[in-house]
Amino acid sequence: MARILVVDDEPKMTSLICGALEDAGHTVQTTAKSAEALDLLGRHSFDIVVTDLAMPEVSGMTILEKARERGAEVIMMTAYGTTQTAVEAMKKGATDYLLKPISLEELEKLVRNIQEKQQLASLAGHYRQIAHGDLASQIIGSSEATKKVKDLIARVAVTEATVLITGKSGTGKELAARAIHDNSKRSAKPFIAINCAALPETLLESELFGHEKGAFTGAIARKRGRFELAQGGTLFLDEIGEMPQSMQSKLLRVLEERKLLRVGGIDLIDIDVRLIAATNRHLKDELSGGRFREDLYFRLNVFPIHMPNLADRRDDIPELATYLLRRLSYAHPELSSSVVAHLTQYDWPGNIRELRNILERATILARGEKLSVEDFPLEFDSDNHPLVGVAIINSHSETGLASAEKEMILEALKKCGGNKTDAASLLRITRRRLYSRMKIHGIEP
């Protein structure tokens, strides 16, 4: 709400205006002495000044000039309205003017309009600061794809909108979520993350909403859930596409009502949380397959951000690699042109996560020396596609095909951060086929 100064030499008028604006939620200070108004403007900060034009001590024009110097918007009031008076007041910076007897409804409308304009100006300034400064150290890269992501993050960070981040495993979805939180007005409050795919349904409900003592076997004490822990801050729901349907309906209810009920509880708890969700699935496909609720999808997809694959932002690879090598405290983070050329030819199916792992392995092979192409054993086929597990088969041929296949699957799962869909795509087999082979080889799903 706005901080408003009301100036009029008629005390009844100031009292009337003060009552109406305070009822609308604003903080109002009044004075019937125009000379005192100049002193108040010098000592205090106001968003809006509502002042009479003709007063005995100091004119409304003088108050207008002082208020504009202090950055306040001004609404003039006059009983002697003429076109000339209005033009002069507007030229000196008045936002608008009202003829006496004024309409309180019209005054409240003008105040709302001014406040919205001031909020938009503040958001625009914050956006420019984020877009041109703060994000540079959080989202690495200057390719067109990365610039687009940075711009979207900067725009949505200054709002309270729910965000849905999509993209393959390893593209930096959680990093984007943290950047949104860190550049929002909630940055001083907690950022709480939870992986919806990592917990069974019964545990996920307790983790999200909390539980009361005795709610189920093993509930020996009351526990606050992630929503409560994120109070005032941001809750990041990773892999939202893996959430069971029964949990989807419970989540939707909490998002719509802004209240939750702990498992085993009877008291509703108010929540003030900004929600950011992420998924590596195509949720529209999940909708058509009946695996994801349509109403929850539209509730989450208020502001979508897609994180591009590393192969779609190859221009960022040199900068990303140098940044990651510095994070690894490697003595020679700068890459030669031959190494850069080698890295940018690869498709990086595991995205940034794979790049980080490859770089860490390369630093071990190089033993502190400057990195060379030989330190990056990347394999390509005739169409320049990455070959998964070729080195494994070559080095383990004596152990037989079955053993080599098992290691290929494990390597693919590792490259894709455990994501079965991405691993199957990398191995060029169906997800069902992957599960079948995992079962044969005794690999835990």
What pLDDT tens digit does each residue of the chain (445 aa) get? 789 999 998 999 999 999 999 998 899 999 999 889 999 998 999 999 999 988 888 888 999 999 999 889 999 888 766 657 767 788 888 888 888 888 999 999 999 888 877 776 655 555 555 555 556 567 899 899 999 999 899 889 888 999 999 999 999 999 999 999 998 889 999 999 999 998 888 889 999 999 999 888 888 898 999 999 999 999 999 999 999 999 999 999 999 999 999 999 989 999 999 999 999 999 988 998 889 999 999 999 999 999 999 999 999 999 999 999 999 999 999 999 999 998 998 889 889 999 999 999 889 888 788 999 888 877 654 455 544 443 333 333 334 456 667 878 888 888 888 888 888 877 767 777 788 778 878 888 7
Domains 3-120 and 133-306 share a fold: yes
310-375 topology per CATH: Helicase, Ruva Protein; domain 3 (1.10.8)
pTM of the model: 0.62
3-120 topology per CATH: Rossmann fold (3.40.50)
For the chain, domain boundaries: 3-120, 133-306, 310-375, 390-440
Element (H, E) at 171: none
My answer on whether omega of the bond before 349 falls inside 30° of 0, hence cis, is no
**Distance (Å, whole) CA 427 – CA 413:** 10
- What is the CATH number that goes with domain 133-306? 3.40.50.300
Exposed / middle / buried, residue 175 (Cβ in 10 Å: 0-12, 13-18, 19+):
middle
Structure tokens at 431: 């997800």
Is there a contact between 201 and 246 (Cβ–Cβ < 8 Å)?
A: yes
**Spatial CA neighbour of 91 closest among 99, 83, 79:** 83
**Distance (Å, whole) CA 287 – CA 158:** 30
Structure tokens at 216: 């189920």
Long-range contacts, 103-109 (Cβ 8 Å, 24+)? 104/16, 104/17, 104/20, 107/17, 107/20, 107/21, 107/50, 107/75, 108/20, 108/21, 108/24
Superfamily of chain region 390-440 = Homeodomain-like (1.10.10.60)
